[in-house]
Amino acid sequence: MTIYLINPSHVSFGIGVITPRWLYVLASATPADFGEPSLIDETLNPFDTATITAGDIVGIGIHTGNALRGYEIGTAARAAGAYVVFGGIHATLYPDEARDLGGAHAVVTGDGEQAWPMALRDCASGRPRPQYDGGRIESDRFLPGRWELLPAGRYMWASVQTIRGCPKHCSFCSVWRTDGQRPRQRLVEGVLEEIVDLRRRGFRFIALADDNFYPVTLDDLRMAARRQDSSQLERLEAIRAERFALMEALAGLPGDTVFFTQITMEAAEDSEFLEAMRRAHIKGALVGVEAVTPEGLKDVYKNFNESGEALVERLRGFRRHGIHVLGSFIFGLPSDRAETFDATLTVAERAELTFAQFVMLTPFPGTLDFAAWEKSLGAEPPRVTGVPVSRHWLIPQANRPKVYMNHPVMTADEIRRRTQAVWDRFYSFRSIWSRSRGAVTSVKARLAFVLISKIYRQMYANTGIATDSARINRSARWARLMAIPCRRLFAGRPMPELQAALVRPREKAGRMLEMFDGDLTH
Ligand code: SF4
């Protein structure tokens, strides 16, 4: 009997950008008596389902984007006589769909660390339950990844999670509804040990794969300080202190370590936090800018972001503290007009962003946008290849529309073309070369910067936005080729001698939060 854990993907690049963390975490959660699980990441290579045999147990983790491929694998696995267990955000939202279309015997909803071993035991005894509710486990139950199972030389970045949940409530995002609004922070010791494990293996670029690395803002503290009851302020201060303790620990790692994380723009006004990030080798952050106008921000319930000149200034604040920003923008918001595309590009350039991504507004299940959009479609939504557009992830990839929500003044094709044009201009050779001057110093590093920028754009924009399948295939081939030298740029020297104890700055720093447990919902 083989235990498979499969990360489905309809496109493979040979090399992965970031390790799919969940595979390695669920490998940790797999009881030893089941043997070594076989970890399959289709972003590296397509998986041949013919290798599955009767009695195997196949765990498939899906988000909305890869659900259809996941269902193909699940159906084939069930036909081969295996037990099929689905998990992940999409299966949590649509457990029936995984059973109806993906051949699932069982679905794990919520966090998988505790529910997956239960599902395994029941499958092994021939009595899987239809559903296992993993819920939202506390952070002291989060497991580290079994990184010794990583295939050598296949990923550019490792990934470690330090916190789950986000106190915000952006309308296009499902994180706050699935992972919750109460931040659940891992203890510093556990995070550090995992990072040291990865650093020993030669990973010097590590993504802190957190929902929001900055869970408590200065505004939150000011508001809590105005309350008569001081308990909320104490909770927030404890969370903040824990973040600083973590960053202090990270600061003790070798100087060539580079972390990247996700953070809200409000961090730009928190110099103390940004300085701690700089010392902790956190050299890059994805910042959800989303829109450059107040109307656009209102569209996505992100009024806490700045717009106009104040936005440019805030984003530059990160660079002043040595933190490179990958700015994320959304096109196709109801308030967007033709001129919004140029205005956004100008902000991205003037704000000294190192990288940027321009995504088209897509109603993802679990979000407020999706609920409103689904309702607006009525009982008989339009269909593509027989599939209602309200289940767009089930439409075959080649026929899947790129834009779903009707826009008051622009057609779907206009939004797609204009979005593609912004990508093309931001990632033109001339723009990248000019940005490289501010990002790195040596000519070699600047050439590496060009390569990384180009591969990012090929992997993300051309395979995600283009409708022309020849262009998509060309881009995937190009990215596959370029990924090999690109990965070498990220590889570090293995440091088997590195000890967590040597980089830990103080005893028991991670225990502070155990005193507090409450709901931080805004
Ligand atoms: S701040 Fe980020 S993670 Fe939090 S709800 Fe908004 S988009 Fe989602």
Using the atom order of ligand 1, give the atom closest to the CA of residue 173.
8
What is the Cα 372 distance to its own chain's centre?
A: 24
Is the confidence at residue 135, as pLDDT, over 80? yes
Instruction: Dump pLDDT digits (tens) for 403-426.
Output: 888 899 999 999 999 999 999 999
Instruction: Dump pLDDT digits (tens) for 211-270.
Output: 999 999 999 999 999 998 899 999 999 999 999 999 999 999 999 999 999 999 999 999
pLDDT band at 493 (very low <50, low <70, confident <90, very high): confident
Using the atom order of ligand 1, give the atom closest to the CA of residue 264.
1
Q: What is the mean pLDDT of the chain?
A: 90
d(CA 85, ligand 1 centre) in Å: 28
d(CA 37, ligand 1 centre) in Å: 33
What pLDDT is stored for residue 472 in this prediction? Answer: 62
Tokens of 103: 């051949």
**Coil, helix or strand at residue 388:** strand
Pocket flag, ligand 1, residue 181 (CB < 6 Å): no
Q: What angle do CA 237, 241, 242 make, to 5 degrees?
A: 120
Pocket flag, ligand 1, residue 261 (CB < 6 Å): no
429: nearest Cα among 447, 413, 411: 447
d(CA 100, ligand 1 centre) in Å: 31
Pocket flag, ligand 1, residue 209 (CB < 6 Å): no
Predicted TM-score (pTM) of this structure: 0.88
Is the confidence at residue 502, as pLDDT, over 70? no
Question: What's the average model confidence in pLDDT over 136-148?
Answer: 96
Structural contact between residues 105 and 124, judged by C-beta atoms closer than 8 angstroms: no
Using the atom order of ligand 1, give the atom closest to the CA of residue 174.
8
Structural contact between residues 144 and 498, judged by C-beta atoms closer than 8 angstroms: no
180 sits in the region (left: phi over 0; alpha: psi -120 to 50; else beta) called left
254: nearest Cα among 452, 495, 453: 495
Show the 3-state SS of 247-265. Answer: HHHHCCCCCCCEEEEEECH
Structural contact between residues 415 and 403, judged by C-beta atoms closer than 8 angstroms: yes
3-state helix vs strand vs coil in the chain, percent to 5: 50, 15, 35
Is the confidence at residue 512, as pLDDT, over 60? no
Instruction: Dump pLDDT digits (tens) for 358-388.
Output: 999 999 999 999 999 999 999 999 999 999 9
Residue type, 10: H
